[in-house]
Amino acid sequence: MKKIFKVPSLILLFICFSVITVMVASHTTNTPQDYTKGALSIHNTTAYTLENVSITFNQNQTLTLKSISSSTLMTVDFPDTDFITSVSILGTTADGKSFSNSFSGLITNDSCLIIYLDDYMNLRVSSNIPE
């Protein structure tokens, strides 16, 4: 009688071990699904060439671009880090106009910073980064 119970117990033990192994192997970290490392788009919609453009990621990693031509869409690579949750941008034009702004939220490949002129011909920065 003991032999009969021993075989089903071994099968049940094997099934439990298999289920636990599959669960551990398929475990993922708590990373948002839409996050991928990549690049941030910067769109200069103005007639000005932007100069000395400084982009700061997560308040501690800064990238400086010499210039961004007028009416240009460009991308900059993300620094090597787990998540980009904040970005700041600032810069000037040749005739002394300046712009700056900061954004926070999860920065992804779909994120874009847009530099534009407002109704009073001041440079402004907006983004599509959800807060």
- Which residue range is the domain that position 50 belongs to? 39-127
Number of domains the chain contains: 1
Helix (H, G, I), strand (E, B) or coil at 31: coil
Show pLDDT as tens, one digit a residue, over the chain (131 residues). Answer: 555 556 666 677 677 666 676 665 654 444 444 444 578 999 999 999 999 999 999 988 999 999 999 999 999 988 777 788 899 999 999 899 999 999 999 888 889 999 999 998 999 999 998 87
Could you tell me if residue 120 is inside a domain?
yes
Quote the pLDDT of residue 62. 92
Whether the CB-CB separation of 53 and 64 falls below 8 Å is answered with yes
Which amino acid makes up residue 76?
V
Q: What angle do CA 119, 120, 121 make, to 5 degrees?
A: 95
Check which CATH number belongs to the domain holding 53 and give it. 2.60.40.2890
Strands (E), 58-117: 61-68, 72-77, 86-93, 98-104, 112-117
Separation of alpha carbons 6 and 84, rounded Å: 55
Q: What's the pLDDT score for residue 30?
A: 43
